[in-house]
């Protein structure tokens, strides 16, 4: 069993009188895919937002790599090695794959030209090709706008963008929701490669067979609380569904 | 299933198979600017063939370039704004206002008649024009980026406000005393024997604009914001700040254009600039910049400025009424947007 990299303890989040999280806990381990599942409204998105800095929990503790942390913005979380892949394709369709990979992290030229804001496009392209090859993302061409690629390739680039920069945790919110069967396989392959790098991957998904095929560990949220945990290998689909619907409860509220 | 077989092959393709760059020839043919560039060349050739004595002359090209300089500067700014998927209807009015404020200042410093004013006064006039334009751009940027009011409405409002302010400043009429030193050097002067100074200024600004858009982080963010604002925000780009800068840049350029216009026309020529905004938008869009954002080049904009200009000049020379120019350009504009939309729809359906 690998070390616990990200540990959320007893998080609550209130939006006015609505309680989106009611003491939710969550753990992700290095080099493992942890699936976070739950029915609509269970609080998955809110939990991920709290853990990636997009929202701040009302109360509770987040521990990253043994130290308690507070994310006041996604930028802070990113600086600590936490990246998020969003459900809707969050790439700039008119830019090429290399530009998308380096979006917000451009490499400047050396010397005075770089100080003036000039970008080193050749270097970014070189590194991008290297990273795409490492992650097994195949593209016909690196100088066409990403919008002219297929949905799977686009999402692969989006996934690659997060994992290249993530040193600790990657959240993936329904990364395959918009994809076809073949494209989905491709993205799942990338996810496995990322896990093998020793990064903690958190997969949010509604697709149970997908969860069972890639997840090393499954945590189930229901009504803003974690209700069950499973280890991937010996989990059955019925157990997951039972936990999501409330028929099975492993953990009583603290 | 027969459909899945070729796709499966695609997966197993080795990573090394891709990652190519398109060949230079193919990239040329796929570039929008290449085709509209051809149209421009064809027009020049056509008019030269019809009027070999009067069209391909030094004088024709000098005036063609001078008359396009001011619009070109406005269009460079407009290119940035449209790439962010915004619009700036106020550039023409800001040009007028900047010229008016600068002219008024120069008159005030020379006791009512600025015709004989010296370079000190002219420099102050330039600074005032640029500051006026920049502040107006900043206001546009603030309302669009921070207050999040649609750019069409914001700049429609500031367009009217800037024009009204210009009228109010001079009791509703044009201002007519411009330093002679200014009109003789910047307005009509030439360097290297044949190159009008006004054109040199326009070329310098255009080249800097192209450099900024094509090679710098500022340019890259301009494309990114226009392509996917929310995605850019998530990638850590300060979208609000960037939009503010882009609208300010456009105002700044409109300020410079206002001063140049004052130098060339020797007057504020308010009525001559009321359709500058639409001409600039038409030039940018014809030049292949997408109204939906994320796509565009300065080179395309240059060509887009010159196609209507060459048409007008050519029609004048061969004695065709230049309303035909307006007629043709209008329809070409509609066609350009239609093509852009089709291209986009085809892409998104993948």
Whether the pLDDT of residue B4 is over 50: the answer is no
pLDDT at B7: 39
Picking from B4-8, B31-35, B53-57, B149-153, which range would have the lowest pLDDT averaged per residue?
B4-8
Torsion region of B91: left, alpha or beta (phi above 0 gives left; psi -120 to 50 gives alpha): alpha
Please list the residues that pair with A221 across neighbouring strands. Answer: A226
The answer for A 130-189 residues in CB contact with B (under 8 A) is: 132-133, 136-144, 147-151, 181-182, 185-186
Contact A141 B234 (CB under 8 A): no
Q: By the CB < 8 Å criterion, does B345 face chain A?
A: no
Q: How confident is the model at residue B31 (pLDDT cuts 50, 70, 90)?
A: confident
pLDDT tops 60 at residue B8: no
pLDDT in tens, B218-276: 999 999 999 999 889 888 889 999 999 999 999 999 999 999 999 999 998 898 898 89
Q: According to the model, what pLDDT value does residue A88 have? A: 66
- Write out pLDDT tens, residues A37-66: 988 888 888 898 899 888 889 999 999 988
Q: Which residues are bridge partners to A68 per DSSP?
A: A63
Report the pLDDT averaged over residues A70-85: 87
Q: How far is CA B115 from CA B213, B269, B328, in A?
A: 39, 16, 40
pLDDT of residue A40: 84
Query: CA nearest B10 in A: which residue?
Result: A138
A133, A139, A182 member nearest B8 (Cβ): A182
Cβ pair A119:B11 closer than 8 A: no
Q: How many CA atoms lie within 13 A of B166 on its CB side?
A: 33
Percent of chain A with pLDDT over 70: 96
CA–CA separation, B99 vs B84, rounded Å?
27
- Based on its alpha-carbon atoms, the radius of gyration of chain A, rounded to whole angstroms, reads 19
From residue B32, alpha-carbon distances to B77, B242, B288, B304, B333 in Å are 20, 26, 6, 11, 14
CA dihedral (A133, A139, A141, A143) positive or negative: negative
What ipTM, to 2 d.p.? 0.81
Residues 6+ away with beta carbon under 8 Å from B316: B322
Higher pLDDT pick, A190 / A30: A30
More confident position, B311 or A86: B311
Nearest to A106 among B4, B212, B220 (CB): B220
- Residues B102-150 have pLDDT tens digits of 999 999 998 888 888 889 999 999 999 999 999 999 999 999 999 999 9
Sheet strand arrangement including A67-69: A18-29, A4-15, A59-64, A67-69
CB A228 within 8 A of CB A250: yes
pLDDT at site A252: 57
Residue keyed to tokens 């329809």: B331
What average pLDDT is seen over chain A?
Answer: 86
pTM over 0.80: yes
Banded pLDDT at A1 (limits 50, 70, 90): low
B33: its two tokens:
């600017």
Confidence of residue B10 (pLDDT cuts 50, 70, 90): very low
- Please answer whether residues B190 and B125 qualify as being in contact, where contact means their C-beta atoms are separated by less than 8 angstroms: no
pLDDT score recorded for residue B2:
40
Under DSSP, the state recorded for B245 is: H
Q: Give percent of chain A with pLDDT exceeding 90.
A: 27
CA–CA distance, B70 with B40 (Å, rounded to integer): 19
The pLDDT score that the predictor gives to residue B15 is 40
Confidence of residue B12 (pLDDT cuts 50, 70, 90): very low
pLDDT mean across residues, chain B? 89
Task: Examine the pLDDT at B348 and tell me if it is beyond 80.
Answer: no
Distance from CA of A70 to the nearest CA of B (A): 18
**What pLDDT, on the 0 to 100 scale, is given for residue A211?**
87
**The predicted structure's pLDDT at residue B34:** 86
Predicted confidence at residue A181, as pLDDT, reads 80
Any residues with CB less than 8 A from the CB of A233 and at least 6 apart, and which? none
Residue B195: HSE in the Cβ half-sphere, 13 Å Cα cutoff: 9
- CA–CA distance, B137 with B154 (Å, rounded to integer): 11
Residue B285's nearest CA partner among B331, B222, B347, B223 is B331
pLDDT above 90 covers a percentage of chain B that reads: 66
Contacts of B9 (CB under 8 A, 6+ apart): none
Q: What is the pLDDT of residue B14?
A: 41
Over residues A63-84, mean pLDDT: 88
Q: Mean per-residue pLDDT for B309-326?
A: 90
Pairing verdict, β A18-29 and A4-15? antiparallel
User: Cβ contacts (< 8 Å) between A91 and chain B: which residues?
Assistant: 228, 231
CB-nearest to A119 from B11, B216, B348 is B216
Chain A CA closest to residue B290: A94
A220 three-state secondary structure: strand
Does residue B13 have a pLDDT over 80? Answer: no
- Say what the pLDDT of residue B222 is: 97
For A92, which of B21, B224, B350 is closest by C-beta distance? B224
At residue B313, the pLDDT reads 93
So what's the pLDDT on residue B215?
A: 95
**Nearest-angstrom CA–CA distance, A246 and B244:** 50
How far is Cα A198 from Cα A168, in angstroms, rounded to an integer? 8
pLDDT in tens, A133-148: 888 787 877 788 888 8
Distances from the Cα of B320 to the Cα of B43, B66, B312, B313, angstroms: 15, 22, 9, 10
Report d(CA B67, CA B305) in Å as an integer.
10
* B280-303 mean pLDDT: 94
Question: Is beta strand A59-64 parallel, antiparallel or unpaired with respect to A33-37?
Answer: unpaired
The Cα–Cα gap between A149 and A129 comes to 16
DSSP state of A234: G
Is the pLDDT confidence value at B307 over 60?
yes
Comparing CB atoms, the residue among B8, B22, B228 nearest residue A92 is: B228
- Residue B341 half-sphere exposure toward CB, CA atoms < 13 A: 6
Residue B6 has pLDDT above 70, yes or no: no
State how far the alpha carbon of A95 is from the alpha carbons of A100, A118, A142, B264, in Å.
Answer: 6, 17, 10, 40
B341 contact A CB<8A? no
Reported as a pLDDT band with limits 50, 70 and 90, residue B20 is low
pLDDT tens, residue by residue, B58-108:
999 999 999 999 999 999 999 999 999 999 999 999 999 999 999 999 999
Q: Assess whether pLDDT exceeds 50 at residue A197.
A: yes
């Amino acid at each position: 069993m690998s070390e616990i990299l990200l540990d959320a303890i007893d998080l609550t989040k209130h939006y006015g009188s609505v309680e989106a999280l009611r003491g939710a806990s969550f753990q992700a381990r290095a080099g493992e895919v942890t699936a976070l599942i739950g029915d609509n409204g269970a609080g998955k998105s809110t939990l991920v937002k709290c853990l990636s800095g997009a929202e701040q929990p009302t109360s509770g503790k987040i521990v990253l790599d043994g130290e308690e942390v507070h994310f006041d913005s996604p930028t802070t979380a990113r600086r600590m090695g936490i990246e998020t892949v969003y459900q809707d394709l969050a790439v700039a369709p008119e830019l090429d794959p290399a530009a998308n990979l380096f979006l917000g992290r451009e490499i400047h030229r050396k010397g005075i030209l770089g100080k003036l804001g000039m970008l080193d496009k050749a270097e970014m392209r070189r590194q991008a090709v290297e990273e795409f090859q490492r992650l097994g993302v195949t593209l016909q061409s690196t100088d066409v706008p990403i919008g002219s690629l297929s949905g799977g390739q686009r999402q692969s680039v989006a996934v690659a963008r997060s994992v290249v920069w993530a040193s600790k945790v990657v959240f993936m919110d329904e990364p395959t929701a918009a994809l076809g069967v073949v494209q989905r396989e491709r993205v799942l392959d990338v996810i496995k490669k990322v896990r093998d790098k020793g990064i903690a991957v958190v997969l949010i998904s509604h697709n149970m067979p997908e969860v069972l095929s890639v997840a090393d560990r499954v945590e189930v949220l229901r009504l803003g609380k974690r209700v069950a945990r499973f280890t991937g290998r010996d989990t059955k689909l019925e157990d997951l569904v039972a936990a999501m619907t409330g028929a099975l409860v492993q953990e009583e509220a603290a | 299933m027969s459909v899945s077989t070729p796709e499966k092959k695609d997966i197993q393709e080795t990573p090394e198979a891709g990652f190519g760059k398109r060949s230079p020839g193919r990239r040329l043919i796929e570039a929008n600017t290449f085709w509209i560039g051809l149209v421009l060349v064809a027009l020049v050739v056509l008019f030269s063939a019809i009027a070999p004595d009067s069209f391909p002359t030094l004088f024709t090209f000098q005036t063609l370039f001078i008359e396009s300089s001011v619009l070109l500067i406005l269009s460079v700014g407009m290119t940035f704004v449209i790439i962010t998927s915004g619009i700036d209807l106020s550039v023409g009015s800001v040009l007028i206002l900047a010229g008016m404020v600068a002219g008024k200042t120069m008159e005030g410093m020379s006791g009512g008649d600025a015709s004989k004013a010296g370079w000190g006064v002219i420099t102050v006039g330039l600074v005032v024009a640029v500051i006026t334009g920049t502040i107006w751009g900043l206001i546009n940027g603030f309302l669009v980026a921070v207050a999040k009011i649609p750019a069409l409405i914001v700049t429609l409002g500031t367009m009217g406000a800037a024009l009204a302010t210009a009228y109010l400043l001079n009791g509703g009429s044009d201002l007519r005393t411009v330093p002679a030193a200014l009109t003789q050097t910047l307005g009509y002067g030439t360097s290297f024997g044949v190159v009008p100074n006004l054109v040199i200024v326009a070329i310098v600004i255009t080249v800097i604009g192209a450099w900024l858009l094509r090679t710098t982080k500022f340019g890259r963010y301009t494309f990114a914001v226009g392509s996917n604002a929310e995605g850019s925000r998530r990638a850590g780009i300060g979208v609000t700040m960037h939009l503010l800068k882009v609208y300010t840049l456009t105002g700044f350029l409109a300020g410079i254009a206002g001063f140049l216009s004052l130098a060339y026309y020797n007057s504020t020529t308010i009525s001559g600039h009321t359709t500058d905004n639409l001409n600039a938008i038409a030039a940018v869009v014809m030049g292949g910049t997408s109204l939906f954002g994320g796509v565009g080049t300065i080179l395309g904009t240059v060509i887009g400025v010159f196609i209507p200009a060459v048409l007008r000049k050519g029609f004048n020379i061969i004695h065709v009424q230049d309303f035909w120019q307006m007629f043709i350009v209008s329809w070409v504009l509609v066609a350009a947007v239609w093509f852009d939309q089709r291209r986009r729809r085809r892409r998104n359906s993948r």
